[in-house]
Structure 1
Amino acid sequence: MITLEDWALIRRLAGEGVAKAQIATRLGISRTTVYAALASDSPPKYERMAAVTSFTPFEARVKELLRETPEMPATVLAERVGWSGSIRWFRDNVKRLRPEQRRIDPADRLIWEPGDAAQWDLWFQPRKIPLEDGTAKLLPVLVITPAHSRFIVGRMIPTRKTEDLLLGSWELLQQIGAVPRRFIWDNEPGIGRGPRRAEGVASFMGTLAAKLVLLPPRDPESKGIVERRNGWFETSFMPGRSFASPGDFNEQFTDWLQIANARTVRTLQASPEQRINADRAAMLPLPPVPLHLGWRNRIRLGRDYYVRVDTNDYSVDPRAVGRLVDVSAELDRVRVRADGRLVAEHTRVWARGMTITDPAHLQTAKTLREQFRAPRPVAAGDDLVRDLADYDRAFGIGGGF
């Protein structure tokens, strides 16, 4: 077999008009080799002849099992086919065959029209954020990216529960200024899985008049835009930063996103900031009425005058004890109303298992407690001392003994 250099030289000499016999003599090879080199369309390539090994008798059966169950472990395959040799040698051969037996799942090129879709995701940034109780925790960051413009909006939220996901989504949609026609989510429990939607999600989507698309498992291409942005945050936003609180994180992240959205995206040859107007023009308008989202509950206030939101307890004006109160919580505030009147308002705590008390509520409770324990005053003219003769007359007893 001739080398790649000889093959190229033969073709060059022939192109210069040198006779085939002279080429053979000059290179010391047969004329048959020269004829074959000139007739071939590709350079010579050495291919090792398949050799018979100890694995060869088992190869067909292994392929059959892999076609049925592509992820079957090599140890189980060895047991099924009756292999008794080296498990390492068997595993190496299975590793060679496995990719060929997997079912093919081709991914189409996706074209994103203006206003059509936005991709939602939760990014868990790799640094713990200090909380109110002195602990630190990894908190989710909700990220939305309209697919046509690649414009990014995002903010940190307290939990990945449905109430906080919908609150965060509504706040970010207001930043965009319009509603994409399709919301693309993967299988996030707080939104839904398969045909099931989390409670409150259907009404949220209906109010926005948008469609929720929940991706099937193992379909990363359909949400690749926002996934790549998450990786970009870790390499471009996070390095060299520290955060004192979730609020501090959101301030820094919002400022950085303004810079990020002004950068040119190589594949678009434009910046997201330049393309977002086309997205907005084709999106749906925001609902004209405010959405009633977040943590909402109606309870009868107990004697301890506290209400619970998520895992934290918040004090309420004790004068509302025994009455029905409406509890509502947003991402940053907790409010309690009785008959429409505000009876408590607190900053929402992102730590868990805490008790938040307003000093004014403590003072009111003390006053009410003192009033309850004090003896009732006797009304004027109400003489509690009765003449014993009144009892004699009531029972018909004559006067005197």
Structure 2
Amino acid sequence: MDIIYEIRRRHSIQKQSISAIARDMGLSRPTVRKHLNTITEPKYEREQPASPKLGPFEEQLTTWLEEESKLIRSRRRSAHRLFEGLQEIGYIGAYDSVQRYVKRWKSSKHGPKITEAFVPLVFQPGDACQFDWSQEQVELGGVLQTIKVAHFRLAYSRQMFVVAYPREMQEMVLDAHSRAFTFFGGVPARLIYDNLKTVVDAVFVGKERQFNRRFLTLANHYLFEPVACTPASGWEKGQVENQVGNVREWLFTPLARFTSFADLNHWLATRCKELALRSHPLQTQRTIAECFADEQPALRPITASFDGYVEQMMRVSSTCLVRVDRNRYSVPASAAGQAVSVRITADQVRVVAHGEIIAAHSRVFGRDLLICDPWHYLPVLEKKPGALRNGAPFVDWELPKSIRLVRDKILKQPKGDRAFVELLMLAGEAGLDALAVACELTLEAGVVSAPIVMNELRRLIAPHLPAAAIHVPDGIALTIEPIANCHRYDYLLGANNVH
């Protein structure tokens, strides 16, 4: 616009000719004539930057974008992941070209995106941590599964922690907090949440909330203040909202594959430490790990761990079982028909009666599964030995090889069921290892029967007498030792001959 103004000023004010203006300003006369007729500011259409290196790969990139547009958003690759995919098939160009192409393709499909304005937030060290859940897909043990991932993010240092679970339940929330505080090495002053059902029971006007009582027990134990966001106001915890998308791209795309949740969570914790080596978004001269080192002393120290269980009162069935989350777990037969407390954690099911833990099982997450401890049913076997052959707790009981061999032989003998049950009852006190050794000794002897096994087992568990010498006091020592007289036996022999 400055050139147009100068041309018009020279021609209209200084009365220069077109040729003189063209000569003085180094322009052509047609250009001078065009600008003399220009009043408004000219608008230039920007040409799309050429991408010669991307050209041969545009067809493949378009195919990927069209295929992934049919997937759910969490399974779509970001522009950077697409760039990495192109590199694998020979692309040597820049990432910017791929990013611009992806942006143009999405705009042509969905139209321009409306940007919403927000207020930047500032947090002090140790002040706040943001929490959220996400849903991801992984392959565990060769099976594709949809899992839930708990996200934590310290608002000052941006240090993150993520942990995966099969489901999003209250016991998972409690366990995730304990793991996060252990990872951080302390507890922040506030934790910011959505209005999760596992955290908030009721939403009132403004910021008033009725928090879940069990969750408040967690907050009371660690002494942090829970803060619930305004409904549909995710920007109040925008850091962790952005983290969900980033973690999906960094850790779960392409598909993560592990053998178990334990391996997956160990890897996630390691990656959280590695990702902390990136630059801090605000303090660009420092890493997230360095900022976290400054924030950690401001966190409240952990004085004791929290037992994050959810408790339910149940009645034990006549088959010595309690039902938890569509699965059944065994309880000692002595508790059949009684009311017990079932404490459910993220990875365990504990049964409590009269203030004592009477059963503990690793938690499973299938459906209609039966988890039995055979020892819980020994008192029942004592009265019903026939249940040994087809009882569900005993059919798949993994016994040592020597015990299985002896069992198979004894069950073929008369009253073998009851005889083997008696061995199990004795092994309940001595342990399976002692019974396995007794069975090995019996097999070596070549004759297998319940009495022989029981004799060997009793010999193994019998207490050993001390081999210490007997000390006799000096006051009762013999002064004259008696002389052995064997002739007295001749008298007895003679007496017997008389009779």
Which residue does 2:332 correspond to in 1?
Answer: 317
Stretch moving more, 194-203 or 254-263: 194-203
Q: Given that residues 186 and 215 in structure 1 are in contact (C-alpha distance below 8 angstroms), is that contact kept between their aligned partners in structure 2? A: yes
- SS state at 2:118 partner: coil
Q: TM-score with structure 1 length normalisation?
A: 0.65
Which residue does 2:354 correspond to in 1?
Answer: 339
Q: Given that residues 137 and 144 in structure 2 are in contact (C-alpha distance below 8 angstroms), is that contact kept between their aligned partners in structure 1? A: no
Q: Given residue 321 of structure 2, which amino acid in structure 1 is its aligned partner?
A: Y
Deviations 1:260-308 (CA, angstroms, capped at 9, x unpaired): 122323443222221223322223333x344343122344433221122
Task: Give how far 1:122 is off.
Answer: 0.7
Which residue does 1:110 correspond to in 2?
Answer: 121
Task: Give how far 1:107 is off.
Answer: 1.9
Q: Given residue 274 of structure 1, which amino acid in structure 2 is its aligned partner?
A: E
Task: Give how far 1:18 is off.
Answer: 11
Which residue does 1:351 correspond to in 2?
Answer: 366
Deviations 1:102-141 (CA, angstroms, capped at 9, x unpaired): xx985211112111111101121133545xxx97531111
Task: Give how far 1:150 is off.
Answer: 0.9
Which residue does 1:84 correspond to in 2?
Answer: none
Measure, in 1, the Cα distance between the counterparts of 2:126 and 2:17: 67
Measure, in 2, the Cα distance between the counterparts of 1:321 and 1:201: 32
Change (3 A) 1:240 1:35: closer
1:204 to 208, 211, 218: 218
1:179 equivalent in alignment to 2:184: no
- SS state at 1:276 partner: helix
Measure, in 2, the Cα distance between the counterparts of 1:280 and 1:236: 25
Which residue does 2:288 correspond to in 1?
Answer: 272
Deviations 1:11-38 (CA, angstroms, capped at 9, x unpaired): 456899996422667467999x86996x
Which residue does 1:9 correspond to in 2?
Answer: 3
The answer to which structure has the higher helix fraction is: 2
1:127 equivalent in alignment to 2:138: yes
- SS state at 1:122 partner: strand
Measure, in 2, the Cα distance between the counterparts of 1:352 and 1:173: 32
Which residue does 2:57 correspond to in 1?
Answer: none
Q: Given residue 204 of structure 1, which amino acid in structure 2 is its aligned partner?
A: L
Which residue does 2:175 correspond to in 1?
Answer: 167
Measure, in 2, the Cα distance between the counterparts of 1:323 and 1:291: 28
Q: Given residue 125 of structure 1, which amino acid in structure 2 is its aligned partner?
A: E
- SS state at 1:200 partner: helix
Number of equivalenced pairs: 304
Q: Given that residues 335 and 345 in structure 1 are in contact (C-alpha distance below 8 angstroms), is that contact kept between their aligned partners in structure 2? A: yes
1:153 equivalent in alignment to 2:136: no
Measure, in 2, the Cα distance between the counterparts of 1:229 and 1:368: 60
Task: Give how far 1:196 is off.
Answer: 3.6
1:295 equivalent in alignment to 2:342: no
- SS state at 1:222 partner: helix
Task: Give how far 1:332 is off.
Answer: 1.7
Measure, in 1, the Cα distance between the counterparts of 2:283 and 2:380: 63
Stretch moving more, 148-157 or 159-168: 159-168
Deviations 1:304-363 (CA, angstroms, capped at 9, x unpaired): 211223332211121232444332222222222333443222111122332211232244
Which residue does 2:341 correspond to in 1?
Answer: 326
Measure, in 1, the Cα distance between the counterparts of 2:144 and 2:320: 29
Q: Given that residues 327 and 335 in structure 1 are in contact (C-alpha distance below 8 angstroms), is that contact kept between their aligned partners in structure 2? A: yes
Q: Given that residues 139 and 256 in structure 2 are in contact (C-alpha distance below 8 angstroms), is that contact kept between their aligned partners in structure 1? A: no
Which residue does 1:69 correspond to in 2?
Answer: none
Which residue does 1:256 correspond to in 2?
Answer: 271
Q: Given that residues 131 and 152 in structure 2 are in contact (C-alpha distance below 8 angstroms), is that contact kept between their aligned partners in structure 1? A: yes
Measure, in 2, the Cα distance between the counterparts of 1:198 and 1:295: 12
Percent of pairs with identical residues: 24
RMSD: 3.7
Q: Given that residues 341 and 352 in structure 2 are in contact (C-alpha distance below 8 angstroms), is that contact kept between their aligned partners in structure 1? A: yes
Task: Give how far 1:231 is off.
Answer: 1.6
Change (3 A) 1:240 1:312: closer
Measure, in 1, the Cα distance between the counterparts of 2:32 and 2:258: 76
Task: Give how far 1:172 is off.
Answer: 1.5
2:247 to 221, 229, 233: 233
Which residue does 2:479 correspond to in 1?
Answer: none
Q: Given that residues 14 and 20 in structure 1 are in contact (C-alpha distance below 8 angstroms), is that contact kept between their aligned partners in structure 2? A: no
Task: Give how far 1:235 is off.
Answer: 1.9
Measure, in 2, the Cα distance between the counterparts of 1:190 and 1:23: 82
Q: TM-score with structure 2 length normalisation?
A: 0.53
2:149 to 138, 141, 154: 141
Measure, in 1, the Cα distance between the counterparts of 2:362 and 2:127: 37
2:323 to 297, 308, 319: 308
Deviations 1:192-219 (CA, angstroms, capped at 9, x unpaired): 2633433422332233332222112332
1:360 to 375, 380, 395: 375
Q: Given that residues 186 and 299 in structure 2 are in contact (C-alpha distance below 8 angstroms), is that contact kept between their aligned partners in structure 1? A: yes
Q: Given that residues 162 and 198 in structure 1 are in contact (C-alpha distance below 8 angstroms), is that contact kept between their aligned partners in structure 2? A: no
Deviations 1:32-52 (CA, angstroms, capped at 9, x unpaired): x86996xx9xx3469xxxxxx
Measure, in 2, the Cα distance between the counterparts of 1:309 and 1:285: 35
Q: Given that residues 155 and 168 in structure 1 are in contact (C-alpha distance below 8 angstroms), is that contact kept between their aligned partners in structure 2? A: yes
Change (3 A) 1:136 1:10: closer
Gaps of 5+ in 1: 1-6, 47-95, 375-401
Q: Given that residues 295 and 309 in structure 1 are in contact (C-alpha distance below 8 angstroms), is that contact kept between their aligned partners in structure 2? A: no
- SS state at 1:203 partner: helix
Change (3 A) 1:9 1:120: same
Measure, in 1, the Cα distance between the counterparts of 2:332 and 2:17: 105
Measure, in 2, the Cα distance between the counterparts of 1:213 and 1:228: 19
- SS state at 2:257 partner: coil
- SS state at 2:247 partner: helix
Q: Given that residues 158 and 331 in structure 1 are in contact (C-alpha distance below 8 angstroms), is that contact kept between their aligned partners in structure 2? A: no
Which residue does 2:401 correspond to in 1?
Answer: none
Measure, in 2, the Cα distance between the counterparts of 1:105 and 1:365: 68
Q: Given that residues 309 and 345 in structure 2 are in contact (C-alpha distance below 8 angstroms), is that contact kept between their aligned partners in structure 1? A: yes
Change (3 A) 1:295 1:243: same
Q: Given residue 301 of structure 2, which amino acid in structure 1 is its aligned partner?
A: P
Larger Rg: 2
Q: Given that residues 128 and 139 in structure 1 are in contact (C-alpha distance below 8 angstroms), is that contact kept between their aligned partners in structure 2? A: no
Change (3 A) 1:268 1:198: same
2:236 to 194, 208, 222: 222
Q: Given that residues 137 and 255 in structure 2 are in contact (C-alpha distance below 8 angstroms), is that contact kept between their aligned partners in structure 1? A: no
